[in-house]
């Protein structure tokens, strides 16, 4: 989020440098996860999810901000090399639906434990 805000001119150099410094320090103390799960969604799905949540503070999110943020996530995941990654295209998934949730859980288990 911070790099997106910075690139769009919505965060000062000083604030971004402070944020980056603190983030790098925190990363040095964190263990890499056993599995990184990336839920991939297209912009129309993201907009629908925001509308569905109906959180007041999300109502002013600009579409250009959302697109830029999504592009940054896509670039980040394409270059992630710290461990296992499971990418789930979740545009057509409803996590409240037991069948969809079961598919996701099965994918996670297969990624962590293999097929058998």
pLDDT along the chain (116 residues), means of 10: 90 96 95 96 95 92 93 96 96 94 95 82
Per-residue model confidence (pLDDT) at position 91: 95
Per-residue model confidence (pLDDT) at position 114: 86
Report the alpha-carbon angle 30-66-2, nearest 5. Answer: 40
Per-residue model confidence (pLDDT) at position 43: 96
Give the 3-state secondary structure of residue 8.
coil
Q: φ and ψ at 84, to 5 degrees?
A: -65, 140
Which of 25, 57, 55, 61 is closest to 43 using CA atoms?
61
Give the 3-state secondary structure of residue 43.
helix
Per-residue model confidence (pLDDT) at position 1: 85
Per-residue model confidence (pLDDT) at position 116: 60
Per-residue model confidence (pLDDT) at position 23: 94
Q: What token pair was written down for 114?
A: 């293999």
Per-residue model confidence (pLDDT) at position 33: 94
Report the alpha-carbon angle 22-26-27, nearest 5. Answer: 115
Give the 3-state secondary structure of residue 48.
helix
């Amino acid at each position: 989020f911070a790099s997106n805000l910075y690139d769009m001119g919505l965060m000062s150099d000083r604030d971004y440098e402070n944020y980056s410094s603190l983030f790098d320090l925190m990363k040095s103390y964190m263990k890499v996860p056993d599995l990184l799960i990336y839920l991939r969604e297209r912009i129309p799905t993201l907009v629908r999810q925001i509308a569905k949540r109906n959180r007041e503070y999300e109502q002013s999110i600009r579409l250009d901000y959302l697109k830029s943020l999504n592009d940054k996530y896509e670039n980040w995941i394409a270059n992630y090399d710290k461990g296992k990654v499971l990418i789930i295209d979740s545009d057509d998934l409803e996590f409240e639906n037991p069948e969809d949730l079961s598919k996701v859980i099965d994918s996670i288990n297969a990624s962590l434990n293999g097929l058998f």
